[in-house]
Chains A and B, each alone.
Chain A
Amino acid sequence: MDGACCGPGYASPAEAMKAPREKLLYTIAIYTGTGIQKPDYLATIDNDPDSPTYSQVISRCEMPGIGDELHHMGWNACSSCFDDASMTRKYLIVPGVRSTNLHIIDCATDPRNPTLFKVIDGAEIKARTNLSAPHTIHCLGSEIIISMLGDAQGNAPGGYLHLDKDFNILGRWENSMGEIKFGYDFWYQPRHNVMVSSEWAAPNTFMPGFDLEEVGHLKYGREIHLWDFEKREPKQTFYLGEDGLIPLEVRFHHDPDSTHGFVGAALSANIIHWWRDDAGEWQWEKIVDVGNEPHPDWPIPVPGVISVILLSMDDKYLYLCNWLHGDIRQYDISDPHNARLTGQVWMGGLLNKAPEVNGVKVTGGPQMIQLSLDGKRLYVTTSLFSTWDNQFYPEIRTNGGCMLMVNCDTENGGMEIDPDFVVDFGAEPNGPSRCHETRYPGGDCTSDIWL
């Protein structure tokens, strides 16, 4: 089902777009920081419209202990091993940002009921690599690297944890962090021997919550870094300054021949575009600038806080979430230098534009998103990070998070919230939990890279 040839994934982004519709969704849900003394878990959601349990959580794979703060996750294999018949997309690697534990979850033996296969203990990772706070996971052919945002004491810049295909710790992946101050997300484009990484902050800075004053004290990132991927070292830095405060999600075009890529600067609420020009030089520019919005109770206008961006598999549309404003936007980036707003929907947020959607009170704002491979269905969750949720949306403690689906017009642009799909994590059996990143068994729009 993953493809006609050999290994996991698809021969190309165009082939991926022809994949069958996603019928199961995996999303993490947390109790860390909520006051409920239960483990975080991986929720499996039935997404088959013909099923009696459509739009419901059908299984929950609990972690062994409490306090992990599950956040992002990644597959053991993707289209980067499409030619390797010995590989299968079987395991989700699900890290705990706070605990540094890596949970390896078998999603293939019974896709409707994933089970814990193995745990790599955070203490072992710290002891062997002096790294903590795992974030983004990408497979590279048969191996795996994970951006780790801190050293074992939670200081920046951390580095990259390198695992083999059997989840043994190989050590640090990078040969040098150069002058990089912070880590966060990364994406590589192997045909151009380039990787781009972004910057959040040291774990000891962001884990306790957001002190705005620390931005001015240079405790948060404002640079992105281009790496020599084969040499495993950074070779160029773009200082984004006030236009690029807290650059988070990094997305290259899916087209492996393209040098274009994008990063969302969360606090500046801008989209930054980079590319390699005809002279072979890397360039960057700002292509979207979300304005701050007035709020009756705030002394200053509210910034959008772009918590995520994502590209459709055909590289035509860029989606972004303004977590504090409460909108998701769709931009046509067919010309990547000129983003054109083509769609917008509202859910939650601080501007009170859509406090309730599909009968569920939305606490938080649109946060993580995942798009179907054909580009038509966008899944949205509302929690960012436990401590930051508690600061901006304290009612989330009692209401929990939720997941919604947005139908996207891939021909003419446009978005509409699907009226029949909502997963209310406020109604979970152990009490209100909060959902974050979502993935599908067959791969999605942020999981696969082509060699």
Chain B
Amino acid sequence: MMRTVTLANRGGATYEVDARRPLLDALREQGVDLPYGCQYGGCITCAARLTAGTVNQSAQVALNNRQITDGYVILCVARPTTDITLEIGVESHHKLYRNPFTDPLEPHELKADIATPEA
């Protein structure tokens, strides 16, 4: 199954990718210059922002629930389940990083393994 990926902050460029493969691999092979680190879903370096469509990123363990709510996806493990639109690179990271002392997380915003359901 092929899906179309639109890169909103690369002039709307589109790429056809194999939905069985991680987006990082599929896009890099077509020449998209993307950051990455651990390549197993644990380190956030490759995070991008999903603005349309859906992905399966069940293998990621790096994002907390607030980051997921804000649309972040971990490209090294995420696979598209529909056609999608992404913002890539650090330009998309404006909501990814926060000062943990001045902007604490609510219990439901923690990582999935320790989050409590929203009251």
- Interface residues of A, Cβ cutoff 8 Å to B: 32-35, 37, 66-69, 98-100, 132, 150, 152-154, 203-204, 207-214, 217, 219, 297-300, 302, 386-387, 390-392, 394, 397
Contact = CB atoms under 8 A, between A and B. Distances in A.
Given A35-B89, A204-B62, A217-B110, A98 B38 contact: yes
B97 A387 contact: yes
Nearest to A206: B43
Nearest to B47: A208
A154 B97 contact: no
A208 to B, nearest CB: 4
Dominant SS at the B interface?
loop
Interface in B80-119: 89-91, 93, 96-102, 104-105, 107, 110-111, 114
7 contacts: A35-B91, A66-B35, A153-B42, A154-B42, A211-B64, A211-B105, A212-B100
The dominant DSSP class at the A interface is loop
Nearest to B89: A35
A386 B38 contact: no
Given A211-B105, A213-B110, A397-B90, A153 B40 contact: yes
B97 A394 contact: yes
Given A214-B110, A386-B45, A99 B37 contact: yes
B110 A33 contact: no
A274 to B, nearest CB: 29
A134 to B, nearest CB: 12
Contacts of B96: 390
A361 B40 CA distance: 36
Nearest to A387: B44
B45 A98 contact: yes
Contacts of A152: 40
Interface string B11-54: 00000000000000000000001011111101111000000000
B7 interface: no
Contacts of B100: 209-213, 391
Given A99-B37, A154-B40, A390-B97, 13 more contacts: A32-B35, A33-B37, A37-B35, A69-B37, A208-B42, A208-B44, A219-B114, A297-B102, A386-B45, A387-B43, A390-B93, A390-B96, A397-B90
